[in-house]
Amino acid sequence: MSDIIKLLPDHVANQIAAGEVVQRPASVVKELLENAIDAGATQVQLIVKNAGKTLVQVIDNGKGMSMTDARMAFERHATSKISNADDLFNLHTKGFRGEALASVAAVSQISVKSKRQEDDLGTLLEIEGSKVTKQEPVVSSQGTMISVRNLFYNVPARRKFLKSDQVELRNITDEFHRVAMVHPEVAMSFSHNDNSLFNLIKSTHRQRIVSIMGGKTNEKLVPVEEETELMSIKGYIGKPEFARKTRGLQYFFVNGRFIKHNYLNHAVLSAFDGLLKEKSNPAYFLYLTVPRDSVDINIHPTKTEVKFDDEHSLYAILRASVKHALGQFTINSIDFHQEKQYEVPYEVAKNKTSNSPRIEVDPDFNPFQQEKSNVSNTRTQSFQKPAAAPWESLYAGIEESSKLIDESEKEQVTSSMFEKHEVEQRNIFQLQRKFVISTLSSGLLVVNQQRAHERVLYEKLLRQLTVQNGVSQQLLFPIKLNLPAEEVSILLQLQDELEHTGFLFKSLHDNVVEIEGLPLELKEKDVPSVLEAVIAKEQEDVPEYSYSPADGLAQTMAASMSIKTGEALTKEAMENLVDELFACKEPEITASGKKIFINLSGDSLNSKFN
Ligand code: ADP
Ligand code: MG
């Protein structure tokens, strides 16, 4: 049998190697922006067409390359940034592997124009699938322009795996933000399909963050500063009251490089402990500087994980600094001793003075008015007496309504869950601002108000999304929101669906959202949190096959629009809620599978008295 091992042809080997570095258009953006910064540019322009699938172009005014260097730059392991292994532990540049350009060149069509200050003429190079197809001197200004066209034109399998333009553009925007946030001293612009998305002038870190995140970010930031031997920390955290459901705004930079680090992330979150609404994420933009030899960034070209020597100490320093910053700047506005409560939204808990259970008693409500006209006056009056303690009236009600149950059971004629007379004058009340309790012919119904409303809204919204359009309430004054551009682009992507539910957008561009109509059920003050929830859901990577966008949207909107635990309900609202719930297709469980009500039958009550 003949030998079977072969050396792969160069172009195949190159393409395989390229796969390590270049996974999507955003990887090209990252490498080109980093090269421009490494070249000392003070102005960097990013120009993108069709989410980078057709063109990624970066123009800088950095130091440029000689003709020989321009050729060399596209060889694998060709770099000007390190010359021996020791340099790896003392990196001052973003790149150092000398792999990026070679990798990009293997899977795209590139043209480069570059000129150094000391040269009269620059160099033009064209490269296609690693082969140089043109090289000539050109007139150009100092700096480098690299255009990467038709990424993966020669690897159709990879091109096929690119996601939608929206998703790829979002990844590109992320990379742009990450570089821009570390280099406020560099003017940076970004345009997509000839629309200018960002035009960032040279500024401070704070201004840069604000101009990227948009609008009112400035007033939401609290500075963090700490200087220790192991690490220095500079940067900002978002005030707890502005924490959002989206996880987007969390940035660590270590020695000028964006990184992800679960353990350090936990340090920050734990410093916020007790100050956040459930499931909300605080924003942070933290620039950490550690001695260069105490961190290993040499793990993987595309990964953003790093390893620190002494993670435990860094954790402690970071947590303490963030806690300190929070304490300094929010001490007046936040109640630090607020207790965490299950399902109680922050706003409610914040304004609460005591946590004792409350029962809402409607003093005008007399369940016996109709059925029990023969009840003596004195009895009725004592029941209505406002001085009666809430607990007393509660028991009085139950005692009396159990008589009602007995009576109605004898004359049960209707198939409806509620007795006829109960529909007219139903025994219904709220317990702990969480449960709606109603008497039934057969026992007692206990409904979780938040979950019930979620189910009602979910079915309504899903219907509007799939079959008919929702009713819109026109706003007298349009609502204007400032959101990061990438979040606006998510809304743009969902515009049709959102309009089916009743939203009416006046404009959706850059980082501005203007709304002139709302779904009937949506309160104006809840608009930001509903949109935030929708965006957050979109940002989660959901497997495409099992996910119906309409269903997801309906679930998210329903969850964030629903009546919450802690809200007092009028009797009418309770009655409507229960009626609407039982008109639903699936009243038993929420869309996410949680139990909505329990039904305590007379028998089960009886058994408790044995
Ligand atoms: P690395 O950045 O890891 O060194 P790259 O493949 O990204 O590797 O780039 C190779 C070399 O090309 C760099 O070391 C640098 O000398 C040169 N280079 C790349 N881009 C630029 C640029 N925009 N301006 C000047 N030189 C550049
Ligand atoms: Mg590089």
Return the residue whose CA atom lies nearest to atom 14 of ligand 1: 79
Phi, psi dihedrals of residue 494, rounded to the nearest 5°: -100, 5
Residue nearest to atom 8 of ligand 1 (CA): 98
**Ligand 1 pocket check for 73: Cβ under 6 Å:** yes
Does 446 score more than 60 pLDDT?
yes
Mean pLDDT value of segment 11-23: 81
Is ligand 1 within 6 A of the CB of residue 116? no
Residue 390: pLDDT band by 50, 70, 90 thresholds?
very low
The mean pLDDT of 373-392, rounded to a whole number, is: 35
Tell me, in angstroms, the distance from the centre of ligand 1 to residue 58's CA.
13
Contact 497, 545 (CB under 8 A): no
Binning pLDDT at 50, 70 and 90, where does residue 34 land?
A: very high
What's residue 419's pLDDT?
A: 43
Give the whole-angstrom CA distance, residue 351 versus residue 184.
Answer: 40
Residue whose CA is closest, atom 7 of ligand 1? 100
Ligand 1 pocket mutation, candidates 79, 111, 186, criterion most atoms within 8 A of CB: 79
Q: How far apart are CA 37 and CA 94, in angstroms?
A: 8
Least confident of 88-97, 213-222, 268-277: 88-97
Instruction: Answer whether residue 147 shows pLDDT above 50.
Output: yes
Question: Which of 15-29, 132-146, 269-283, 549-563 is the least confident region?
Answer: 549-563
Strand order of the sheet with strand 504-509? 472-482, 512-519, 504-509
pTM, rounded to two decimals:
0.61
Most confident of 247-261, 342-356, 378-392: 247-261
* Average pLDDT of every residue of the chain: 80
Q: Which atom of ligand 1 is nearest to the CA of 103?
A: 6
Q: Tell me, in angstroms, the distance from the centre of ligand 1 to residue 294's CA.
A: 25
pLDDT of residue 399: 36
CA-CA distance, 495 to 514, in Å (whole number)? 12
Give the residue, by CA position, lying nearest to ligand 1 atom 13: 79
Task: Choose which residue among 20, 28, 35 to substitute to test ligand 1 binding: the one with the highest number of ligand atoms within 8 A of its C-beta.
Answer: 35
DSSP secondary-structure letter at 589? B
Binned at pLDDT 50, 70 and 90, residue 136 comes out as very high
pLDDT more than 90, % of the chain: 39
Phi, psi of 554 (to 5 degrees): -60, -45
Residue 78, CB half-sphere, CA atoms under 13 Å: how many? 12
Between CA 100 and CA 77 the distance in angstroms is 9
Q: Which of 124-133, 519-528, 567-576 has the highest mean pLDDT?
A: 124-133
Mean pLDDT over residues 440-449, rounded? 86
What pLDDT, on the 0 to 100 scale, is given for residue 434? 93
pLDDT, residue 341, reads 30
**479 close to 515: Cβ distance less than 8 angstroms:** yes
DSSP tag of 190: E
Token code pair at residue 567: 């809200």
The answer to whether the CB of 517 is under 6 A from ligand 1 is no
Average pLDDT over residues 138-150: 97
91 has a pLDDT exceeding 70 = yes
| pLDDT recorded at residue 274 | 82
Give the C-alpha separation, 353 to 338, whole Å.
Answer: 10
Enumerate domains of the chain plus CATH numbers.
Answer: 10-202 (3.30.565.10), 207-330 (3.30.230.10), 435-541+548-600 (3.30.1370.100)
Q: What is the pLDDT of residue 301?
A: 61
pLDDT band at 511 (very low <50, low <70, confident <90, very high): confident
Ligand 1: atom nearest CA of 78 is 10
Which residue would you say has higher pLDDT here, 539 or 399?
539
| Mutation choice for ligand 1 from 56, 94, 101, CB with most ligand atoms inside 8 A | 101
Mean local confidence (pLDDT), 310-318: 92
Tell me, using a 6 A CB cutoff, whether residue 27 lines ligand 1.
Answer: no
Distance CA 570, CA 576 (A): 10
Ligand 2 centroid to 301 CA: how many Å? 10
Q: Which ligand is nearest to the CA of 37?
A: 1
> Which ligand number lies closest to the CA of residue 148?
1
Rounded to an integer, the average pLDDT of 38-55 is: 97
CA of 94 to the centre of ligand 1 (A): 10
Query: Left if phi > 0, otherwise alpha if psi is -120 to 50, otherwise beta: which for 559?
Result: alpha
pLDDT of residue 18: 78
Q: Which token pair is 346? A: 């922050």
Alpha-carbon distance of 531 to 482, in angstroms, equals 12
Look at residue 302 in the predicted model and tell me its pLDDT: 65
- Percent of the chain exceeding pLDDT 70 equals 81
How far does residue 113's CA lie from ligand 2's centre (Å)? Answer: 16
Q: Does any ligand 1 atom lie closer than 6 A to the CB of residue 123?
A: no
What was the pLDDT predicted at 364? 52
Decide: 101 in ligand 1 pocket, CB within 6 A: yes
**Using 50, 70 and 90 to split pLDDT, how confident is the model at 252?**
very high
Report the pLDDT averaged over residues 154-158.
Answer: 88
